[in-house]
Structure 1
């Protein structure tokens, strides 16, 4: 496996010839469409038909809304162990709220390709934002818990789900112990029926980390309560924040360093972003809002504006700036170099899983690189 960085004067023909591969492979693997333009600094995956000698087994999943295009889902499923359907909510009384779009077709197709569909539970309010009052209502009231867990079990049997993912965010500090107890109780009940339970964790670097995103999340208790955890190691660069890498590897490493002191590494999946952001400059706190873009779109923006893609060796992430209509922009995204840094970290720490937020856009080079480095776990229907 090689990664080639485009230089001034390169073309798809010259790169393919220099790497000894058919140009068709280069185009297909990197999703390069006609007229086959490239950006200086663009990283390309160069296929090696020989896999690594010893590939670690890896549990791989990705979150997807039911509105995902059938083609994107079809292309991605061969690289997944589990498909996390996003998302089911619940009311203050513990009644389950289904996704806004039908998910039956996703569940059926996942099973057909040997991928287990997993129900994702979130405390999302009617406005689409996480509601910590919903969290409090369920973790402190046994009757509400019982109704919710019963509803989950019925829905999972009815729909054919194979597991449950609990993705609660902005948990209040006062709910920390009760939330861990809720996850433990839910896991114990679900395990009796053959369902595994995953819990998503905000990216903490210490037990005493302050802030609404972190104070209600107890790594040790939640690691003990659930069958597996996802470290949500992304969103350092985010919609309302200043321009920076979405998942800088130096910060991701700090989260993993802390996590393995509280949770067995065999239970840990590393969160990986499948998107980037485009910020207008200058950044003004409370005013500037970044636009979410996918990785292929980021490269296309660089091509269209003649921007050279740079690579931050500390964050291990690509970025560039460009001008449009008199406004300068800064873009951070993911490429095969940034993904390889994350895969190398998984191997270094002996983690056993990778979870993608999200798989709504298909980025082939990532999956080919992962398949080259890992033995992706699959289960028969």
Structure 2
């Protein structure tokens, strides 16, 4: 018995020593210049996510294949009605545009290309009407069940593996309304899980972290797989002064709020890998009272300026002068309209500003980035993204 114990103990010790030697000293036996073996290589690192939104109205301008840049193609959108069902008709004789685009086959080439290139597909359901949203959450459980009942068959038919909730309420909400919204999201997540239909993403405005709006990020975070912060429209068509659309920094000095602050607040309430930073591929153009950045806007003159359109403008604009807001990390141009004798200002994203946001996402180790929207991009703005998601 004693001899058996000695042999057994010796075998265990020998095994441990051999294992240790293999793990840490295998390169000594190698005749080739190979990397040392590491157990860490057996664990796959989380892949950085890049979500590209494809709105139905940009289908004619977007490229068919974005697999070099994105990991998920998110179709925008089907309209969520106030009872949780998908709105299919806007009148007795007219189909809702997002529904029509999906069912007509206009998007099939994008879906086919994505599947062939291992790019996931996400379906966005959208509601931006406050009255409709109020009705939607008035009875959260049956309305969420309606949503699941109608969307899951669509997801399975087209190969969507993610449902994106984009419910954009900008009004302050009561505690009761916020609680009902959490119940709605929880029930949607439960329905997706029970039918093994896929993941759940929710889009929120950064302002939801500082104002008591309908979406309570802290309470919703536990029921979603991704929380996408729409990091844009800090200045927009209805602003009173010109300024950066997606300021990376500047809160407390040149801005009341910025992307850095929003991400910091998000990191306090949820795992970093769930956080997705939404980046714009567009800016805004305004007529202004003078040529100084952040000057007053002539009311009613705001327009969307896609990155592509600004590139085309710069190619032929002899009077354009440019600058870069170092704090916001955003580019702008100013030019004078000789016909109206007014100044135009455009704050917009370009390759430089987008690289700054990509670097920020990497340094903060968040789950990824999202692009609004495919079809707005010019020749160079996506270049840095190909390296990011490798």
Per the TM superposition, whether the score is higher than 0.5 is yes
Distance 1:335 1:92, change over 3 A: closer
3-state DSSP of counterpart to 2:49: strand
Cα RMSD after superposing both structures = 2.2
- In the alignment, the residues of structure 2 paired with residue 161 and residue 139 of structure 1 have an alpha-carbon distance, to the nearest angstrom, of 25
Q: Which has the higher contact order (CA 8 A, sep 6+)?
A: 1
Greater CA drift, 189-198 or 250-259:
189-198
Distance 1:362 1:321, change over 3 A: closer
- In the alignment, the residues of structure 2 paired with residue 307 and residue 178 of structure 1 have an alpha-carbon distance, to the nearest angstrom, of 50
- In the alignment, the residues of structure 2 paired with residue 97 and residue 108 of structure 1 have an alpha-carbon distance, to the nearest angstrom, of 25
- In the alignment, the residues of structure 1 paired with residue 65 and residue 343 of structure 2 have an alpha-carbon distance, to the nearest angstrom, of 35
1:324-368 Cα distance to aligned partner (Å, 9 max, x none)? 121210111111111111011111111011111111223342322
Consecutive unaligned residues of structure 2, counting only runs of 5 or more, are: 1-44, 89-97, 250-257, 290-294
- In the alignment, the residues of structure 2 paired with residue 224 and residue 100 of structure 1 have an alpha-carbon distance, to the nearest angstrom, of 30
| Partner of residue 173, structure 1 | 173
Does residue 76 of the first structure (1) align with residue 80 of the second (2)? Answer: no
Does residue 236 of the first structure (1) align with residue 234 of the second (2)? Answer: yes
Greater CA drift, 96-105 or 160-169:
96-105
- Count of equivalent residues: 310
TM-score, structure 1 as length reference: 0.75
| Partner of residue 162, structure 2 | 163
| Partner of residue 52, structure 2 | 62
| Partner of residue 353, structure 1 | 368
- In the alignment, the residues of structure 2 paired with residue 360 and residue 217 of structure 1 have an alpha-carbon distance, to the nearest angstrom, of 29
Distance 1:280 1:151, change over 3 A: same
- In the alignment, the residues of structure 2 paired with residue 163 and residue 341 of structure 1 have an alpha-carbon distance, to the nearest angstrom, of 28
Consecutive unaligned residues of structure 1, counting only runs of 5 or more, are: 1-54, 124-129, 376-381
3-state DSSP of counterpart to 1:323: strand
1:189-248 Cα distance to aligned partner (Å, 9 max, x none)? 212314100001111374xx23xxx52121111111111110111101211112111101
Does residue 111 of the first structure (1) align with residue 115 of the second (2)? Answer: yes
Distance 1:351 1:65, change over 3 A: same
3-state DSSP of counterpart to 2:48: strand
- In the alignment, the residues of structure 1 paired with residue 350 and residue 148 of structure 2 have an alpha-carbon distance, to the nearest angstrom, of 40
1:8-45 Cα distance to aligned partner (Å, 9 max, x none)? xxxxxxxxxxxxxxxxxxxxxxxxxxxxxxxxxxxxxx
- In the alignment, the residues of structure 2 paired with residue 184 and residue 205 of structure 1 have an alpha-carbon distance, to the nearest angstrom, of 18
TM-score, structure 2 as length reference: 0.74
- In the alignment, the residues of structure 2 paired with residue 166 and residue 120 of structure 1 have an alpha-carbon distance, to the nearest angstrom, of 6
| Partner of residue 272, structure 1 | 279
| Partner of residue 309, structure 1 | 322
1:293-304 residue pairs with structure 2 within 5 A? 293-303=305-315, 304=317
